[in-house]
Each structure stands twice: as C-alpha cells, then as structure tokens.
Amino acid sequence: MNAPPVLSLAQAAQIIARGQLLAFPTETVYGLGADASQDAAVAQIFAAKGRPADHPLIVHVANAKAITHFARQVPEFAQRLIDAFWPGPLTVILPRLAGVATACAGGQDSIGLRCPSHPMAQALLEQCAALGVHGVAAPSANKFGKVSPTSAAHVRSEFGLELAVLDGGACEVGIESTIVDCTRGAPVLLRPGVLTREQIEGAMGRTLLLPDDLVGAQDAPLSEPAPRASGTLASHYAPRATLRLMDAKSLQTAVELLGADAKNIAVYARTPVHTRSSALIVRRMPDGAAATAQQLFAVLRDFDAQGVRLIWVENVPQDTAWDGVRDRLQRAAAH
C-alpha cells in the first residue's frame, strides 16, 4: 500500500482556508473539518459523511476569545463551564449571531462551540485563525451512524487516501465531547462524555438538567422541543455487529451455552470469562472508565474488522464516571 502523504500544520491550515476538507485529531475523536464560514466547504462535510442536513455541526475554535465571532450571548453558567473545561472535551451550545456559520447550524439559531486541547488541533486552529479562519466546523470523521474514529487509520478506512488527514496518533479521551445546551435559561446535558455530572455541576454551582426534565416544564424557555442532536439518536455509534449488554453472570452463562462453537462472537468484559472455545474472542475491559473510554471505539472497530457478528459486553459500573461509556454502549446496543 502507498504510504499516505505526511502533512505539515501549515499545509493543513491552507487546506482549510482554501475551502477543502481536512481530518484532524482532537483529544476526543478525529474530526472532519472545514472552514465554518464557507458554505460550500461545510456542504462537503455533509456530503462526505452522508449526514442529514438538519443535524448541526460543532465549530472548533482556538480559544475562548473566538466565541464573539459566533455567539450572540454567553450565559453566566456557560462562561463558568468554558473557564473550567476549555481547552478540553466540552461543547457548549450558545445562541448564534444572526447570519454567521449558517451552514453549520442545521436550521437552529444556536451554535455548538468547542476548544479542543489536543496540541495538534490547537496548533491547527491557531494557524487557521492567522489565515482569517475563526472556526473549523468538524463532526466526527466517520460516515453517518458509524463509530467515531480514534486514529488516523480509522479515518482512512472510511474515507480512503484522497482525504487529507493530520495524524496525531491515538486519541486520549476516546469518546466524543460532553455537550451542554446553554440556550434555554438552564444548562441541559445533550450528550455525556468523560466529564462527570459532579464536575460540571461543581463548575457551574447549579444543577445540570437532562432533556427529559424539560418535557412539560412550565417555564417558557424550557418548554421548547429539544434541539436535534444526532449524537442523541437511540441507535447512533453502531458497530456492524449486534451488541448486547449483560451482567457478568448472564454473560458467563451465555458463554457456557455456546460450548466449543463460538465463531464470530466477541466478549468485552471486566470479569474474567471461562470458555472451552478457542474461537471466542475475549477482550478484557479495563477497570477504569477513562481507560475504557479511550479504547472503546477502537475495540468495536477491531471486532468488526475480525468479522464478529455478536458482541457481548459486560454492564459497566453505575457510578457517574462511567456515564459517557454507558451512553455509547447503550446506543450501540439499541441498533
């Protein structure tokens, strides 16, 4: 196979400024980026991903100062989140300045902003800003509905060698950013990530609501329908194989019932599994939530690559540190 070309950061920033697509690493997952202010460039993202036009894109910025290019207003609780977690794996949805980054908005009058901490993403966004690009729109660099990529190789396996990719190695966080909607007068969690509820509430000094808390709420600003977020569809993040979540005991029983014939079945569990089958693929889940998040999508992609049809996953612990991983597994299982 031909080795993919190695891009310099300057070349990468020029690709974005020219209105072309570039995949780049962030600490969460790889993004498929384009200049947020060039409608034709943003349209290419939707086309390449096969993403429905009404699913808005997150815009990545080099620092908090860039917010003023995109957002009309920053509520105090949103400012506290930004102060506490940027740069890092947090996206805030803010009221959008009229007429800016319209192509990214999917019809919403809001905008999702995130300042990533990955050094290569930081350097890229700074070089882009120097070329007059204030924000880089970037969804995860995968086809719509698929597992997000956490390495440059994952991105290339989906989009081929034609797509320009900045290779920053394996992503450290491994699951997508936490998304907090800050447009409704109260903070609403649209997608859990690796930040815990306690961390988020601690930074804001107030309660973090869930979209369900808004149903039938008396409060006018909270009674609007929740904004669309593709990451909140029940069956997002699906591997090709069928994924089932089980407690450790049921998982062991299921493995015993298989006997020696366990072709195309994989197990991902913290509790050791005893099997008579040499065909069963067993992958140990780490004890910690952060380590599990870091490898989760790579493990699912690896099972797919091995032709696995059934993935049995041990339920994760109940504590809030696992909320992000639990969310991705439940969505993958809902497919």
Given the rule CB under 6 A, which residues bind ligand TXA? 26, 28-29, 31, 55-58, 91, 93, 108, 110-112, 114, 138-140, 176-177, 179, 190, 227-231
Long-range contacts of 95-99 (CB under 8 A, 24+ apart): 95/71, 95/183, 96/70, 96/71, 96/72, 97/69, 97/70, 97/71, 97/72, 98/72
Cβ closest to ligand TXA, residue 168 vs residue 252:
168
Q: Which does 87 bind (CB under 5 to 8 A by kind): Mg ion, ligand TXA, none?
A: none
Contact 143, 32 (CB under 8 A): no
Least spacing, CB of residue 77 vs Mg ion, in Å: 25
Cβ closest to ligand TXA, residue 168 vs residue 231:
231
Q: Compute the distance between CA of residue 252 and CA of residue 158 in angstroms, rounded to an integer.
A: 34
Interaction between residue 140 and Mg ion (CB under 5 A): yes
Q: Which does 55 bind (CB under 5 to 8 A by kind): Mg ion, ligand TXA, none?
A: ligand TXA
Cβ closest to ligand TXA, residue 142 vs residue 252:
142
Cβ closest to ligand TXA, residue 258 vs residue 331:
331
Q: Which does 179 bind (CB under 5 to 8 A by kind): ligand TXA, Mg ion, none?
A: ligand TXA
Least spacing, CB of residue 251 vs Mg ion, in Å: 28
Please, is 225 exposed, middle or buried when counting C-beta atoms within 10 Å of its C-beta (0-12, 13-18, 19+)? exposed
Q: Which residues contact 93 (CB under 8 A, 6 or more apart)?
A: 110, 111, 112, 113, 179, 180, 181, 182, 183, 190, 227
Least spacing, CB of residue 225 vs ligand TXA, in Å: 11
Q: How many CB atoms lie within 10 A of CB 276?
A: 12
Cβ closest to ligand TXA, residue 103 vs residue 265:
103
Q: How many CB atoms lie within 10 A of CB 317?
A: 14
The residue ranges that bind Mg ion (CB under 5 A) are 140
